[in-house]
Amino acid sequence: MSAQELTEEGFDRLVDEYRDRCLWFLRRDFYPATLEERLRVLGYIERYGDRSGYQKAAQARGWLLQRSRKAFAAS
């Protein structure tokens, strides 16, 4: 998953892709908005998804944390 794909829409597509398989217990209209919610959802995909889901979630986690660190350093 590239940095371009990790826009808000890209993250929502990742959630939709794994919603039935490993996010079935979340509301159908739930899309994580905060960093904490996104990291939690990525953890669910890493734990309960397939290998591809694990890899996508790991990449997304790295990108989110890197972006978060940059924002923190800039403040």
* SS3 state of residue 47: helix
- pTM, two decimals, is 0.80
Rounded Cα–Cα distance for residues 3 and 12 (Å): 14
pLDDT tens, position by position, 48-71: 999 999 999 998 998 888 877 655
From the list 63, 49, 55, the residue with the least C-alpha distance to 18 is 49
Percent of the chain with pLDDT over 70: 83
Mean pLDDT of 7-24: 90
Q: Six-digit token pair at 12?
A: 């929502």
The pLDDT, as a whole number, for residue 4 is 47
Mean pLDDT of 4-9: 64
The radius of gyration of the chain from alpha carbons, rounded to an integer in Å, stands at 12
Q: Six-digit token pair at 25?
A: 């217990």
From the list 3, 18, 13, the residue with the least C-alpha distance to 53 is 18
Residue scoring higher pLDDT (21 or 9): 21
Token match 């994580």: residue?
A: 32
